[in-house]
Amino acid sequence: MPVAVIAGGSIAGLAAALALHGIGYRVHVLERGDEPPPRRAGEAAPDRPRPTAPQALHSHTLTSLGLRVLRERAPQVLAAARDAGAHLLDLTLAMPAGATDAAREPGDDELAALGCRRPTLERALHDTVRTLPGVTLHHRATLAALELDPARRAVRAVRTTAGERLPADIVVDATGRTAAHRAWLRDAGTPPPEDRAEPSGLRGHTRVYRLRSATAPGPLNRGNAAGDIWDHYAGVLHPGDGDTFSIALATLPGDRGLSALRTAAGFTAAARATPGLGPWLADGVSEPLSPVRAITAPPNTLRGAALAPRPPVTGLYPLGDAACTTNPLFGRGMSLALEHAFRLADLLAAHPRPGEEAAHDAARLTTTLLLPWYEHSAAADRARIARWQAAVDGAAPPPPPPADPADPPGPAALAAAAATDAVVWRALTRTLMTLATPAQALGDDKILARIRQAPPPPARPQAPPHAELVRLVTQAAGARP
């Protein structure tokens, strides 16, 4: 029986354990954190702080891709999450009123998402994996070093910080954005290939709430969320498991005028002023369950070791955020990690002895699954950072690049046409939910024709300008504007 050692016991690592167990691997999962406490049936996971994964308590969403993976590959995990209060969200309820061709179509069943806090989904995975025969969860354990074969070309074992040696046919790096494989390779004398990185330009603030009302106080205009990305900040609400929801407010990291978002009063003032969020925070409607938590998003990063068809050593596979990190504003991380884990297992099932061919196929998997989302996120962030910075500086927004009438419509035209055309709306929603890349949506001649024929979109609600939001936030926090 082949042996896999997985470094990291969060979403990606646990999904990899489940997937590799399914193809006959003996699996060791090394997780730095403590074992979670016992959970009663029907009880959601508590928001336990995890120093090794500070993003875990911030807003998360599982897009249609992630829900499809659970439905098809891990129904027992989906059932456990549902038992803990996770909600299935029908995204077609957010289809614009009056849109053409809005009658339900067979493919609309795939346009669904899961309302679930990350700790609850992670716990559902953990409780499923820990019962699997042949899978061992090592808590408070960390991979310290790789042991290579005499030719220094393939993994054959690992050593933990406790001094334990674990033989391994493969090693999966699921350490998240830390991407610990880079240090392991350097320590083994085989430096990793160069990474690709571009700034995400995001500082996030999140707070979790509990609804007191029996019904949602407002619509989810994004299907799985309420709110939007405005001209100088983003304000988005995600429903969670049970009666919980989270609100995330994101700004430029250097936007000092909105530094008071870290306070409860400043955060509340900004959230109440954001279109789509205010009704959820009206008096008596909800109550906060957490403090305001702040985090600076890491850059968009594509790891060279995940992309290289000839990596420094064979048998080492970066997974999820350890392979590619994209701006969390897009909410794709958990879904891509789940898809990556099971597709990696499919790949390894076809290569009983992982070697150069498996490494080549793993690089191709990264190229097809993760590279398009890295490139999309990097390009979108470049445009958004410029737009937000102009608003913060009180300058005119940067002009769009000159368009050639012969050029096909771009992402902005896709989003505008989706406000009146349900066929285009479906195409846009499939990209937002990670089911299709923007290039795939904009490569469809039928979609392009409908975009060109779409009428101007209706005006959307406007958030407070930067100066006004700064005034509201600082005044609420008792600070000087």
pLDDT of 405 reads 62
Query: Does residue 407 form part of some domain?
Result: no
292 within domain boundaries = yes
Q: Is the pLDDT of residue 124 over 80?
A: yes
Neighbours of 347 (CB within 10 A): 18
How many domains does the chain fold into?
A: 1
Q: What is the pLDDT of residues 465-481, one digit of tens each?
A: 999 999 999 999 986 54
How far apart are the C-alpha atoms of 14 and 9, rounded to whole Å?
5
Q: Is residue 435 part of a domain?
A: no
Domain membership of residue 402 (yes or no) is no
Q: Is residue 352 part of a domain?
A: no
CB of 67 closer than 8 Å to CB of 91: no
Q: State pLDDT tens for residues 339-372.
A: 999 999 999 999 988 889 999 999 999 999 999 9
In this predicted structure, what is the pLDDT of residue 46? 56
What is the rounded distance in angstroms from the CA atom of residue 467 to the CA atom of residue 63? Answer: 34
- Residue with the two structure tokens 């609420």: 476
Q: Write out pLDDT tens, residues 412-465.
A: 899 999 999 999 999 999 999 999 998 998 889 999 999 999 999 998 899 999
- Greater confidence (152 vs 347) lies with 347
The answer to whether residue 361 is domain-embedded is no
pLDDT digits (tens, 9 = 90+) for 169-227: 999 999 999 999 999 999 999 999 999 999 999 999 999 999 998 788 999 999 999 99
User: Alpha-carbon distance 30 to 47, whole Å?
Assistant: 21
Q: Residue 240: which domain range?
A: 203-298+464-477
Q: Is 363 exposed, middle or buried (0-12, 13-18, 19+ CB in 10 A)?
A: middle
Instruction: Give the start-end residues of each E strand in 169-225.
Output: 170-173, 196-198, 203-211
pLDDT value for 481: 43
Establish if 396 belongs to a structural domain. Answer: no
Q: Is pLDDT of 399 > 90?
A: no
Mean pLDDT of 82-110: 93
Rounded average pLDDT over 398-420? 80
Contact between residue 232 and residue 201 where contact means Cβ atoms under 8 Å apart: no
Using left for φ > 0, alpha for ψ between -120 and 50, and beta otherwise, residue 395 falls in beta
The pLDDT value given to residue 306: 94
Model confidence over 50-91: pLDDT tens digits?
Answer: 555 555 565 678 999 999 999 999 999 999 999 999 999 999
Shortest CA distance to 123 belongs to which of 71, 81, 168?
81
Nearest partner of 128 among 186, 90, 70, 76, judged by Cα: 76
CB atoms within 10 A of CB 445: 8
Q: What is the pLDDT of residues 286-322, one digit of tens each?
A: 999 999 999 899 999 999 999 988 888 999 999 999 9
Write the CA distances from 184 to 148, 299, 372, 424, integer angstroms.
11, 21, 27, 46
Residue 327 C-alpha from the chain's centroid = 8
CA dist 225 and 451 (Å) reads 24
Residue 236: beta bridge partners?
Answer: 227, 248
CA distances 91 to 64, 110, 453, Å, are 9, 9, 25
CA separation for the pair 197, 299 (Å, rounded): 6
Whether 5 and 171 have beta carbons less than 8 Å apart is answered as yes
Q: Give me the pLDDT at residue 54, please.
A: 57
CATH number at residue 218: 3.30.9
| More confident position, 179 or 38 | 179
Q: Is residue 350 part of a domain?
A: no
Long-range contacts of 19-22 (CB under 8 A, 24+ apart): 19/73, 19/341, 19/342, 19/344, 19/345, 20/172, 20/345, 20/348, 21/129, 21/132, 21/134, 21/135, 22/345
